[in-house]
């Protein structure tokens, strides 16, 4: 009689195959979670550069790090990197702008306890939104190819996405009120009251570039009747709180 029995050997091989396949799957999942999302510049991802820009203190772990400083330089290097990446970064910026709550990676990371490594690998939705804002603010007119997608996102089902998309457009062409007034008019009927209030503040600024007749003809006062009177009290346009007032982090 052979020992171990051939049946036992076969069962052992099956177990080893299952263990190997399981280990390979775990390795793939971890690699997927940890592998940075492109595009890249000087071996660093766009996400990493944007994280440095919105939080140049993120690498500070000691008093010695604070003394070394270099925060302004880190932000400037990030700005140069984002501009070097240019339009190649637009697809990623649009993804970051639309981040809402948990992602598939978040769901996988939480039970594995990987959140303890900090937000560098797993930035929150708020951080992703702020990174998108930073990217569009840095690129400005260079991000014009994103305008069709951003204009479409101003009609998104999510209230936060709608307003973030509009503010991204403002970064690209801040003085083009003729283009933005029609988009703001839609916010005058936005189902989200906070969006409508913020849009009224934005429209008040654009009114400075319009005659009363032009504003009336365009429909500004129909969408925002509170702006009809010069002494109307409208809260200044504070931008999306999900972006830390869109850039006052």
Match domain 36-243 to its CATH number in 1.25.10, 1.25.40, 1.20.140, 1.10.3470. 1.25.10
Structure tokens at 1: 């009689």
Backbone angles phi, psi at 41, to 5 degrees: -145, 125
What's the pLDDT score for residue 178?
A: 82
Backbone angles phi, psi at 4, to 5 degrees: -70, 160
Instruction: Measure Cα distances from 176 to 41, 141, 148, 169, 183 in Å.
Output: 31, 12, 15, 10, 12
Asked whether 207 and 215 are in contact (CB, 8 A), the reply is yes
Structure tokens at 83: 């501009």
3-state DSSP call for residue 46?
Answer: helix
| End-to-end Cα distance, the chain | 75
What's the pLDDT score for residue 133?
A: 95
What's the pLDDT score for residue 19?
A: 64
What's the pLDDT score for residue 229?
A: 77
Q: Chain centroid to CA 106: how far?
A: 16
What's the pLDDT score for residue 221?
A: 93
What's the pLDDT score for residue 245?
A: 47
Asked whether 101 and 125 are in contact (CB, 8 A), the reply is yes
The series of mean pLDDT values per 10 residues for the chain, 249 residues long, is 64 68 48 58 90 77 58 88 96 95 52 45 85 96 96 96 96 84 93 94 89 92 87 49 43
Distance (Å, rounded) from C-alpha 247 to C-alpha 137?
A: 9
Please name which of 205, 191, 192, 206 lies closest in space to residue 235, comparing C-alpha atoms: 205
């Amino acid at each position: 009689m052979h020992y171990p029995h051939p049946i036992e050997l076969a069962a052992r091989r099956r177990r080893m195959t299952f263990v190997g396949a399981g280990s390979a799957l775990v390795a793939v999942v971890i690699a997927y979670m940890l592998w940075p999302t492109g595009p890249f510049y000087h071996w660093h991802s766009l996400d990493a550069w944007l994280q440095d820009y919105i939080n140049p203190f993120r690498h500070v772990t000691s008093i010695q790090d604070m003394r070394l400083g270099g925060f302004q330089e880190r932000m400037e290097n990030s700005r140069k990197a984002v501009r070097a990446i240019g339009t190649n970064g637009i697809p990623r910026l649009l993804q970051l702008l639309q981040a809402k709550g948990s992602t598939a990676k978040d769901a996988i990371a939480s039970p594995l306890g990987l959140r303890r490594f900090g937000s560098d690998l797993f930035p929150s939705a708020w951080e992703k939104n702020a990174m998108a804002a930073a990217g569009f603010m840095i690129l400005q007119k260079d991000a014009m190819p994103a305008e069709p997608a951003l204009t479409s996102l101003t009609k998104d089902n999510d209230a936060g996405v709608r307003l973030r998309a509009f503010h991204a457009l403002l970064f690209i062409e801040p003085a083009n009120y003729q283009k933005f007034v029609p988009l703001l008019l839609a916010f005058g009927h936005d189902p989200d009251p906070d969006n409508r209030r913020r849009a009224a503040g934005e429209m008040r600024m654009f009114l400075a570039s319009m005659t009363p007749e032009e504003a009336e003809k365009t429909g500004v006062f129909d969408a925002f009747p509170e702006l009809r009177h010069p002494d109307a009290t409208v809260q200044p346009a504070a931008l999306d709180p999900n972006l830390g007032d869109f850039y006052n982090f």
